[in-house]
Chain A
Amino acid sequence: MNPQLEKIWMKVQKPGRYTGGELNSVIKNKEEVDIRFAFCFPDTYEVGMSHLGMKILYGVLNDMEGVWCERVFAPWIDMEEELRSAGIDLYALESGDSLSLFDIIGFTLQYELSYTNVLNMLELAGIPLLCSERKGLEHLVVAGGPCACNPEPLADFVDLFFLGEGEEVDCELIELYREYKKKKGRKEDFLREAAKIPGVYVPSLYHVSYQEDGTIQAIEPEQGVPSKITKRVMMDLDSIYFPDRFVVPYLDIVHNRAVAEVLRGCIRGCRFCQAGFIYRPFREKSVSTIDKQCRDLCENTGYDEISLSSLSTSDHRNLNPLLDQLLTWTKDEKIGVSLPSLRVDNFSTDMMSKIKTVRRSGLTFAPEAGTQRLRNVINKNVTEEQLMKTVETAFRGGWNSVKLYFMIGLPTETMEDIEGIAELGQKVVDAFYTNPDKPKGKGVSVTVSASGFVPKPFTPFQWEPQDTVEMFREKQKHLVNCVKSRKLSCNYHEAVVSFLEGVFARGDRRLGKVLLEAHRLGCRFDGWNDCFSYTKWMQAFENCGVDPAFYANRRRSFDEILPWDHLDYGVTKEFLIRECKKAYANETSPNCAESCSACGAACFKGGICVEDRKNLV
């Protein structure tokens, strides 16, 4: 490590974010390494280190001969200042080497509001931001993660994107890179070749033209590159790589525990939820695989808590046998098992008793909308009756704090739906007091949390206009006014933040210059309240002559060419249109375990799409 770094660490808050040296971090001999890969998480250490995808790929890449994958996080404001004033580049935690010494710089894109951090991190290592300014093969900038399903706003900066799950495609790309590095090939040739790898999208090989009204006229691939890029999916979860150890931070991070992945995809098809569509099809890991992976992780990390992670863990059809299996050894080893999210419809006392050993941080449920009508529109198939039954069970079990998540600004929403949020919250409060078995001597606290709906690509709502900032604020105000009890509290997200997210979620390449301008104006950590500056962002849009409302608040027609139309995540446009029309008619759709809605993801030939539905839930 650069001895100068030490002096800086002494001056910043939480130096543990920047020192590396944690248990299980991978140190390799540089002599034996020919490809250096910087895995960059464009947020703080604490957030990034909690992310399962990063742990998986860190393990996959470091398992490759001759490849050394290191971690890089966005330095917090104080550290950034120190680095800049000392003239030290942003560095990777394992070696302390500047990001500029790496062959491949890979970003994971978890949320749109981290895009300015991507630019800032490159700049902090003196790496040219624009692909066109990085002529050589070195500093290849790549990115993956959920936001890669519409990567267009980043097309100017990122040489290539990985679509879908990275376990295989990342390695294939690295092998190709190694070949080109060895023969000192040209970047253009490499990219052309890379574009042939399934799941790799090279934006510079696709040309976008626009019509007079600003919508897209055509997206044209260059000769010899595929016209559609299909995401990669790992079909057999029992045979894919899973790390047997995690890097264990010294610092207390967001999720400081062992995390087992129990399934991928989701059967539900909630119409607002991008994850529910882009990760299809639903695939489960077997109980024995999960059990083994949990044991290894606990053995190698010393964690005393295991979280069973996925989009909807309680949809695992063998959840109860799994919990029983885990309990056979976790009890003796004083390890607690927790579920990150609970569903309203299958929450039971039995299950509660199995996960009870874990700290009781209060329960959270997500009805998402305040009225049954609107819940049908979004296909969130949870009834009020189920919710009430669940909270009653919880109250009987000793819980007295419940948090309910909702969205405002959903398609077809009226003020009545907003009132429904407060009413539902109130009913939960009332349920506590009418419960004869309520915990003695305790009051209840119910929180309704309302976030602004952001229409996302590859969902049935991808054509919807987002509520304007004014509309959001009016609805927030109305919600607050509807809350009558002191036992019920209410919080909501900043409308301007949802708006910006909305712009970038469905943005196109023309937002690249806005991003660059916002970066120039000093925007970073936009997802953090203390850093986000709406004024600067609006300035950036104005300076570039780009109207953000064009992206966020405009209704798109079904036949408009969308910026992500050349990317294929399995789900077809026809299906999404069908779902959108059903939404307008307040009609729900069955989940994949009940029956197949022919969404298109069956093209991957696996998971629930090919299973016999008779013995499913």
Chain B
Amino acid sequence: MKTVRIWFKKTGAARFISHLDLNRCMARAVHMAKIPLWYTQGFNPHAFITFALPLSLGMTGERESMDMKIDETKITNEEILFRLNKALPGDLRVFAVTEPKLKPGKIAFASYTLCMEPETGSVCQLRKEWEQFLSQEKIITEKKSKSGMLTIDIKPDIRDMQIREENGKLVSDCILPAGSEYNVNPSLLVEAFRKETDQDFYCEYIRHGLYDASMRNFE
């Protein structure tokens, strides 16, 4: 028995499926691909797939991962990759199967790209307002938590913000806290901005990678 970490992209139509649906879809694919799962008791394959960190609905995931226990005497990593891709819809693509190095519990940060597309007004204006918004001393937002709504300042959480214009879109790369301990969804930031600006825009989110507390790549 060994644990493998399966790396995949979640793009296109697959972005719009919930975590629950993704779970079911993966379990079905694992079944169809006849991946020799390591069963301890019963046979509920769902329980044997654990995702590193769920992705919000609508977000593109460039480097998502899930772990499962398999019987390594029966299959190679290459074979897993090949078979899973055959069993998955085109918008879910496995690109690597590796041995897990870090535990999902160690995840502390994630990197994102936010693409804002102005519906009214110019990208230039949007950029000005976005930069102004980000330069405030505090960015107060409301965040859902187990104990109800919390009012928090997320300004100190924003790291490595880099802004550029691309094909009529305002593109911002940044790093935000992520993980089961403390997670800041980039939509918190964007929605807080939306409240302040007069401009109407559509925002697309891409999550690129995950990191531990010392910014080591989650592998």
Contact = CB atoms under 8 A, between A and B. Distances in A.
A412 to B, nearest CB: 49
Contacts of A251: 17, 21
Nearest to B30: A302
B87 to A, nearest CB: 6
Interface string A222-250: 00000000000000000000000000101
Contact of B16 (A16, A248, A300): A16
Contacts of B57: 15
Contacts of B16: 9, 15-16, 19
Interface in B1-59: 12-14, 16-18, 21-22, 24-25, 28-33, 43, 57-58
For the complex, would chain A's binding face be called helix, strand, loop or mixed by DSSP majority?
Answer: loop
In the complex, which of the residues A19, A248, A250 has the most CB atoms of chain B within 10 Å of its own CB atom? A250
A299 B32 contact: yes
A301 interface: yes
A21 B32 contact: no
A303 B29 CA distance: 9
Contacts of A248: 28, 89
A9 B15 CA distance: 10
Interface residues of A, number: 23
B91 A334 contact: no
Contacts of B163: none
Contacts of A303: 28
B155 to A, nearest CB: 26
B88 interface: yes
Nearest to B32: A302
A16 B17 contact: yes
B90 interface: yes
Interface string A1-41: 00000110110000110011111010000000000000000
Given A9-B16, A334-B31, A334-B43, A23 B88 contact: yes
A432 B14 CA distance: 48
Interface string A384-406: 00000000000000000000000
B190 to A, nearest CB: 12
Nearest to A247: B89
Contacts of B202: 7
Contacts of A302: 28-33, 87
A574 B14 CA distance: 56
A299 B204 CA distance: 36
A359 to B, nearest CB: 12
A21 B14 contact: yes
A16 B33 CA distance: 23
A172 interface: no
Contacts of A334: 31, 43
A16 B12 CA distance: 11
Contacts of A250: 13-14, 17, 21-22, 25, 89
Contacts of A9: 16, 58
A530 interface: no
Contacts of A21: 12-14, 89-91
Nearest to B31: A302
A386 B17 CA distance: 46
A324 to B, nearest CB: 22
A19 B92 CA distance: 14
Contacts of B12: 19, 21
B167 to A, nearest CB: 12
A252 B43 contact: no
Contacts of B22: 250
A331 to B, nearest CB: 11
Contacts of A19: 12-13, 16
B38 to A, nearest CB: 14
Nearest to B28: A302
A413 interface: no
B46 to A, nearest CB: 11
Contact of B89 (A15, A22, A252, A299): A22
A423 interface: no
A20 B13 contact: yes
Contacts of A10: 58
Contact of A23 (B18, B24, B89): B89
Nearest to A17: B16
A168 interface: no
A605 to B, nearest CB: 41
Interface in A266-319: 299-304
Given A19-B16, A20-B13, A303-B28, A252 B21 contact: yes
Contacts of B89: 21-23, 25, 248, 250
Nearest to B20: A252
In the complex, which of the residues A9, A21, A251, A300 has the most CB atoms of chain B within 10 Å of its own CB atom? A21
A334 B48 CA distance: 15
17 contacts: A10-B58, A15-B16, A19-B13, A21-B12, A21-B13, A21-B89, A21-B91, A23-B88, A23-B89, A248-B28, A248-B89, A250-B13, A250-B22, A302-B29, A302-B87, A303-B28, A304-B28
Given A299-B32, A302-B30, 4 more contacts: A20-B13, A21-B12, A21-B90, A334-B31
In the A-B complex, list the 5 residue pairs whose CB atoms are closest, starting with the nearest: A302-B32, A21-B13, A19-B13, A15-B16, A302-B28
